[in-house]
Amino acid sequence: MNKIADVIIIGGGLAGCEAAWQLLRRGHTVHLFEMKPQKFSPAHKMKHLAELVCSNSLKSNSPDSAPGLLKDEMRRLHSLILSVADQTAVAAGSALAVDRIEFARKVEAELLQQNNFTLSRMEITEIPSGALTIIATGPLTSDALAQFIHALLDGSYLYFYDAIAPIVEADSINMDKVYWASRYDKGTPDYLNCPLSEKEYKRFRQELLAGEKVAAKSFEEVKHFEGCLPVEIMAARGEDTLAFGPMKPVGLINPYTGAMPYAVVQLRRENSSGSLFNLVGFQTKLTWPEQERIFRLIPGLENAQFARMGSIHRNTYINSPSLLQPSLQMKMDPNIFFAGQITGVEGYMESTAMGLWAGLNAASVLEGKQLQPPPVTTAIGALLHYITSPGSAKNFQPMNINFGILEHLPVKRMKKREKHILYVKRALQDMSIWTRSQDLSA
Ligand SMILES: Cc1cc2nc3c(=O)[nH]c(=O)nc-3n(C[C@H](O)[C@H](O)[C@H](O)COP(=O)(O)OP(=O)(O)OC[C@H]3O[C@@H](n4cnc5c(N)ncnc54)[C@H](O)[C@@H]3O)c2cc1C
Domain ranges of the chain: 7-162+314-437, 167-309
User: Do 276 and 405 form a contact (C-beta atoms < 8 A)?
Assistant: yes
* Nearest CA residue ID for atom 48, ligand 1: 13
* Nearest CA residue ID for atom 18, ligand 1: 348
Fold for 167-309, please state it. Elongation Factor Tu (Ef-tu); domain 3 (2.40.30)
pLDDT of residue 155: 82
Which ranges of 296-415 does DSSP label H, i.e. alpha helix?
320-323, 348-366, 379-388
137 CA distance to ligand 1 centroid (A)? 7
pLDDT of residue 1: 55
Looking at ligand 1, which atom is closest to the CA of residue 11?
34
pLDDT of residue 219: 57
Looking at ligand 1, which atom is closest to the CA of residue 15?
25
53 CA distance to ligand 1 centroid (A)? 7
3-state secondary structure of 404: helix
pLDDT of residue 411: 78
User: Max alpha carbon distance in the chain (Å)?
Assistant: 73
Query: How many Å apart are CA 141 and CA 49, to the nearest integer?
Result: 15
186 CA distance to ligand 1 centroid (A)? 44
Residue 193: beta bridge partners?
179, 266
pLDDT of residue 362: 98
What superfamily in CATH does domain 7-162+314-437 come from? FAD/NAD(P)-binding domain (3.50.50.60)
Q: Are strands 7-10 and 30-33 parallel, antiparallel or unpaired?
A: parallel
Looking at ligand 1, which atom is closest to the CA of residue 55?
8
The secondary structure of 51-119 as a DSSP string is ---S-SEEEE--TTSHHHHHHHHHHHTT-HHHHHHHHTEE--TTEEEE-HHHHHHHHHHHHHT-TTEEE
140 CA distance to ligand 1 centroid (A)? 6
Looking at ligand 1, which atom is closest to the CA of residue 138?
27
340 CA distance to ligand 1 centroid (A)? 8
- What is the full per-residue pLDDT of the chain (442 aa) written as tens digits? 568 899 999 999 999 999 999 999 999 999 999 999 999 998 899 999 999 998 899 999 999 999 999 999 999 999 999 999 999 999 888 999 999 999 999 999 999 999 999 999 999 999 999 899 999 999 999 999 999 999 999 888 888 877 889 999 999 999 999 999 988 777 788 899 999 999 999 999 999 999 999 877 655 555 555 556 899 999 999 999 999 999 999 999 999 999 999 999 999 888 778 889 999 999 999 999 999 999 999 999 999 999 999 988 788 999 999 999 999 999 999 999 999 999 999 999 999 999 999 999 999 999 999 999 999 999 999 999 999 998 878 878 889 999 999 999 887 778 888 999 999 999 999 999 999 999 998 7
391 CA distance to ligand 1 centroid (A)? 27
Q: What is the pTM of this model?
A: 0.86
362 CA distance to ligand 1 centroid (A)? 21
Residue 211: CB atoms within 10 Å: 18
* Nearest CA residue ID for atom 3, ligand 1: 54
The values of phi and psi at residue 359, to 5°, are -65, -45
Dihedral (CA of 280, 205, 292, 422) sign:
negative
Q: Name every protein residue with a CB atom under 6 angstroms from any ligand 1 atom.
A: 10-16, 33-36, 41, 43-44, 53-55, 123-124, 136-142, 145, 340-342, 347-348, 351
Which ranges of 238-378 does DSSP label H, i.e. alpha helix?
288-295, 320-323, 348-366
To test the ligand 1 pocket, which listed residue (348, 357, 383) has its Cβ within 8 A of the most ligand atoms?
348
pLDDT of residue 80: 98
Looking at ligand 1, which atom is closest to the CA of residue 313?
53
To test the ligand 1 pocket, which listed residue (8, 31, 36, 54) has its Cβ within 8 A of the most ligand atoms?
54
Looking at ligand 1, which atom is closest to the CA of residue 14?
25
